[in-house]
Amino acid sequence: MAMYSWGVGERSVIDQRATDSLGGLRVARHGAVATLVIDNPRRRNAVSKDMWSQFAPLLYSLEHDDSVRVVVVRGAGENFSAGADISDLRAILHDTESGRHDGGHVSAGENALATFPKPAIAAIDGYCVGGGWQIAGACDLRMASDRAKFAITPSKIGIVYPTSGIERLVHLVGPGVAKQLLFSADFIDAAEAKNVGLVGRVLPVAGFWDEVQNYAQHLAGRSALSIQAMKAIVDSIATGSSDLPQINDYWQKQMAIADDPATGISAFLNKQTPSFTWNHVVEVD
């Protein structure tokens, strides 16, 4: 199996970079896999207001790039993210339209990731705290190193966690565990995070990045039609959307005109590896 070197300090194949004095987001490419890096290692990848605002345009660019089939989200260096920059928290959480402080720039960045149509994998090493968890929670899949540590900390600083983040947390772990994490603001290790449902896989830190990259490349070889359709359908079921019948009907029609089903069936019958060709960004009305 191919191995990939993208550990601490890796800076190769950078297509885009958006930075400010407190860090920024950048994108690196590895074939069909794009890696979105939260890059503020001096502050454990704390996310400033400007950094939160970078998620939507970068993800929009990746969404409309047919060469990108999977996105991995990670932190630079040895931590995923310490969360929203506390020194700028009121501005970060402020919603200019409503005047409230229920999410603001945090929820806008989180929702841009949650509605991204291609598969997104959070690769979590080190600390994943507060708003950092909102970023990870908005991804489809979460893989953690065995030294990762998690905490959701609004009660430690006297704020109300954004509703969008609470909603995703409850969907993943249930109301009881969500309350335990939110009330206590205590850290839990990777093993407990997997046990309660915060992450799907925990891997040894030695070789962690190679395993994540290999898995992302594995997904990139699957049918993008199947993955985008099932992501839309699963998300619709999870949120109780009334649009589920229309979403399912749309994707059934896409399947009927796409080449991927014939390609996959033929490859299966001939014991070959399929080369899927469908790779379009589509919007469901």
- In angstroms, rounded to a whole number, what is the distance separating the alpha carbons of residues 158 and 155? 5
Q: What's the sign of the alpha-carbon dihedral 241, 246, 252, 258?
A: negative
DSSP character at residue 213: H
Task: Note down pLDDT in tens along the chain; length 285 residues.
Answer: 333 333 333 333 334 444 334 579 999 999 999 999 999 988 899 888 888 889 999 999 999 999 999 999 999 999 999 887 666 656 555 456 655 555 567 788 889 999 999 999 999 999 999 889 999 999 999 999 999 999 998 898 888 888 888 999 999 999 999 999 999 999 999 999 999 999 999 999 999 999 999 999 999 999 999 999 999 999 999 988 899 999 999 999 999 999 989 999 999 999 989 999 887 755 555
Cβ–Cβ under 8 Å, residues 29 and 65: no
Burial class (CB within 10 angstroms; exposed 0-12, middle 13-18, buried 19+) of 225: buried
Three-state DSSP class for 149?
strand
Q: For strand 127-129 and strand 149-151, is the pairing parallel, antiparallel, or unpaired?
A: parallel
Three-state DSSP class for 85?
coil
- In angstroms, rounded to a whole number, what is the distance separating the alpha carbons of residues 267 and 257? 18
The whole model's pTM is what?
0.86
Q: For strand 23-30 and strand 14-20, is the pairing parallel, antiparallel, or unpaired?
A: antiparallel
Three-state DSSP class for 127?
strand
- Amino acid present at 88: D
Note the pLDDT tens digit of each residue in 11-26.
Answer: 333 344 443 345 799 9
